[in-house]
Amino acid sequence: MKAATPRRLKAFVCSRLRLSAYLSAPGDGRPQGQIPARVLLWAQLAGLLLRETSFHAIEALVRSRARAALGVGRRFGDDALAYFTERLAPAPTRLALVSILRHSKRNKAFDTARFLGLALDGTGVARCRQQRCRLCHPVQDSQQQISSYVHHFSLISVVGHEELTLPFDVEPYGPKDSEAAASRRLLERAVQHLGPRFADYVVADGLYATAPFLHLAGELGLYAIVRLKANLPTLYQQAQTRLLDTPPTQVFSIGRDRIEAWDADDFDPWDSLPWPTVRVLRYRQHRPDGTVCEAYWRSSASCASVWLAPSRPIPVNRPHGRSSPRVSRRRPKPIVTLFPDSRDLAAQK
């Protein structure tokens, strides 16, 4: 096997991932650009691979002897890269990332995953000392004084595969907006681009345990799996009272971790949620080092549609009467493995 180089990677991106048209026309908004957009864009991608993400570091790379090996056609400065990036339209990049995901699914990259999901969460980047745009959020210190500014985004990723977690879109929101509203916009756009049959479920933290988000997930044909916390005190207390002192529904192993799982789908919904019942999942993960991670999740998927036990039948129906695109004869995985990133999220929060 030949060694991986930036030039071979560029050939792979253009031929196998079919992104040659995107690299040539990535949405350049410069009125009179002197340096071709494909040169600036590929320099940024090469810098990301080399973990040199600042404009100054990329300038140093393209002005060094490594420029030819990187596949960058000419030299340029960090100001030219900043000018190009500031005017780069986001829509072509979004569509390019979606095309990679759809192409990967057609090539069966996700076939070992029983279910494929979309994970939503908030993130923050680009901290600065002065407010530079309408999206800057003020950061206050312990004396309630503004110390800096940061940009907030909602991030969506494809999850469900044990080895692949693929972020593919973000939605910014300003100080007068909210993460929940941005995530609803992001989820709706993602399903529109990927198609209604790409994913089976959406998983999110307890912030999204609201009727508008759950309604949207159902309208998009997705099962909702949301972290259950004290922000829903009645349901949370009912789940603790019922599941804390009962034996687990299933006990199984994932690698060296031992998992205890509780599963019940007959909890009452609140008034603004038009579900017949609410399903609550509790799991306790025992790791070899002695640490224990425990969390509660609630879902719109009933036990009749998605089983918890590894030995139970696989689901044959999806929300709103849509049939499953394929029926696998492989042994189903437990539902805790459907969203591996959420286990880490639960451990952190």
Instruction: Assess whether 270 and 136 both reside in one domain.
Output: yes
| Banded model confidence at residue 316, pLDDT cuts 50, 70, 90 | very low
Mean pLDDT score, 3-12: 84
Q: Based on the domain organization, do 75 and 148 belong to the same domain?
A: no
Is the domain of 82 the same as that of 48? yes
Give the pLDDT of residue 289. Answer: 92
Q: What's the pTM value of the predicted model, to 2 decimals?
A: 0.80
Tell me how crowded residue 95 is: count the other CB atoms within 10 A of its CB. Answer: 12
Quote the longest CA-to-CA distance of the chain: 69
- Tokens linked to 56: 């100054």
**54, 88, 122 - which closes a domain:** 88
**Could you read off the pLDDT of 255-279 as tens digits, one per residue?**
888 999 998 888 888 777 777 888 8
**Residue 246 resides in a domain:** yes
Q: Say which range, 24-33, 160-169, 306-315, has the weakest mean pLDDT.
A: 306-315
pLDDT tier at 302, thresholds 50, 70, 90 = low
How, if at all, do strands 146-159 and 257-267 pair?
A: unpaired
CA distance linking residue 130 with residue 107, whole number of Å: 47
Per DSSP, 114 falls in state: S
Contacts of 163 (CB under 8 A, 6+ apart): none
Query: Are the C-beta atoms of 265 and 277 separated by less than 8 Å?
Result: yes
* Segment 183-196 mean pLDDT: 94
Is 56 a member of any domain?
yes
- Look at residue 130 and tell me if it is in a domain: yes
Same domain (yes/no): 246, 329:
yes
Q: Confidence band (pLDDT; 50, 70, 90) for 209?
A: confident
Closest Cα partner for 217 from 227, 204, 231? 204
Residue 76 falls within a domain, yes or no? yes
Work out how many domains the chain is built from and give that number.
2
Ranges of H-type helices in the chain: 6-15, 20-24, 37-49, 55-62, 67-70, 78-86, 90-106, 179-194, 211-219, 233-243, 340-348
56 and 67 in contact (C-beta within 8 Å)? no
Domain boundary among 50, 65, 88: 88
Pair (40, 136) in one structural domain: no
Do 308 and 334 meet the contact criterion of CB atoms below 8 Å apart? yes
The reply to whether 77 and 123 lie within a common domain is: no
Same domain, 77 and 180: no
How many distinct helices (H) and strands (E) make up the chain? 11, 10
Asked if residue 1 belongs to a domain, the reply is no
Residue 83 CB burial class (10 angstroms; 0-12, 13-18, ≥19): middle
pLDDT band of residue 305 (cuts 50, 70, 90) is low
Q: Is the domain of 101 the same as that of 59?
A: no
Locus of tokens 């494809």: 158
pLDDT at 156: 95
User: Which of these three, 88, 117, 152, is where a domain ends?
Assistant: 88
Contact 259, 284 (CB under 8 A): yes
pLDDT in tens, 30-41: 998 899 999 999
Note whether 142 and 115 are within 8 A (CB). Answer: no
Strand duo 201-204 + 117-128: pairing:
parallel
pLDDT score of 211: 85
What's the mean per-residue pLDDT of the chain?
82
| Inside any domain, residue 173 | yes
Q: Do 148 and 80 lie in a common domain?
A: no
Task: Report d(CA 230, CA 206) in Å as an integer.
Answer: 9
Q: Which CATH number goes with the domain that contains 219?
A: 3.90.350
Same domain, 61 and 174: no
DSSP sequence for 283-311 = EEEE-TTS-EEEEEEEES--TTTS-SSTT
CA–CA separation, 119 and 168 (whole Å): 11
Q: What are phi and psi of 136, to 5 degrees?
A: -70, 125
Banded pLDDT at 92 (limits 50, 70, 90): very high
User: Is 63 in the same domain as 165?
Assistant: no
Give residue 49's domain range: 6-88
SS3 (DSSP) at 255: coil
Judgement on whether residues 218 and 241 belong to the same structural domain of the protein = yes
Average pLDDT over residues 211-236: 89
Beta-carbon contacts of residue 236 (< 8 Å; ≥ 6 apart): 228, 229, 230, 296
Does 72 reside within a domain? yes
In-domain check, residue 125: yes
